[in-house]
Amino acid sequence: MSEKYIPRLQKYYESDVINKLKEEFSFSNRMSVPKLEKIVINMGIKEGTTDIKVIEQAKVELLAIAGQSPVITRAKKSVAAFKLREGMPVGLKVTLRKQRMYEFLERLICIAMPRIRDFRGASTKSFDNSGNYSMGLSEQIVFPEVEFDRVKRVQGMDITIVTTASERNQSFKLLEYMGFPFRKAQNG
């Protein structure tokens, strides 16, 4: 009895969200309904140019958060004003797809976002023209996988959710139906 593991959020998308989107936007085919393509997590680390230990610590923390080993990003150009030479490490990035993507999104929505101080909902203005959503977190410690006692430096990160939606409204509805906590519109 070897049954393939499917994350809870992915099951919910396939059973409920697809039908809601099909009905709302009048899609004739189930395959034309917008879906999540990938999630990219970036961490810019300016101290990484002088101290490699900062990069290594951030790499361990991002590995715990994403469940996948991050790639070290390096400077493409030398910039004298920033004391930056080509090839120096400047950050980390990880791209999540399929099961890991759904697991990460569920942890972000259900566990990490409620732990953000003074959180009133995510901005609805962070969609680009292609229907992708970008947001920033100022602390990596909102994720329970990061051990608070071992954190030497609080580090922010950028999260980009890439969808197959062709317009902003479709992408917004996709994330809203999946439970993404958007800020409510202020009337008056």
Over the chain (188 residues), what is each successive 10-residue block's mean pLDDT? 72 86 84 88 75 79 83 74 70 88 86 78 82 82 70 79 86 85 64
Q: Own/partner pairs for 107-112, CB < 8 Å, 24+ apart? A: 107/143, 108/159, 109/9, 109/178, 109/179, 109/180, 109/181, 110/179, 111/143, 111/144, 112/137, 112/142, 112/143, 112/144
pLDDT for residue 2: 45
pLDDT at 80: 63
What is d(CA 161, CA 131) in angstroms, rounded to the nearest whole number? 9
Superfamily of chain region 8-45+93-177: Ribosomal protein L5 (3.30.1440.10)
Q: What is the DSSP string of the chain?
A: --PPP--HHHHHIIIIIHHHHHHHHT-SSGGGS--EEEEEEEEE-GGGGT-HHHHHHHHHHHHHHHSSPPEEEE-SS-BGGGTB-TT-EEEEEEEE-HHHHHHHHHHIIIIIGGGSTT---B-TT-B-TTS-EEEEES-GGGSTTS-GGG-SS---EEEEEEE--SSHHHHHHHHHHTT--BPPPPP-
Inter-residue contact 153 to 57 (CB < 8 Å)? yes
Question: Longest C-alpha distance within the chain, in Å?
Answer: 61
Please report where in the chains the tokens 């759904």 appear, as a residue.
102
Q: Are 136 and 166 in contact (CB under 8 A)?
A: no
Q: Say how many CA atoms lie within 13 Å of 110 toward its Cβ.
A: 9
pLDDT at 187: 44
pLDDT at residue 147 in the model: 67
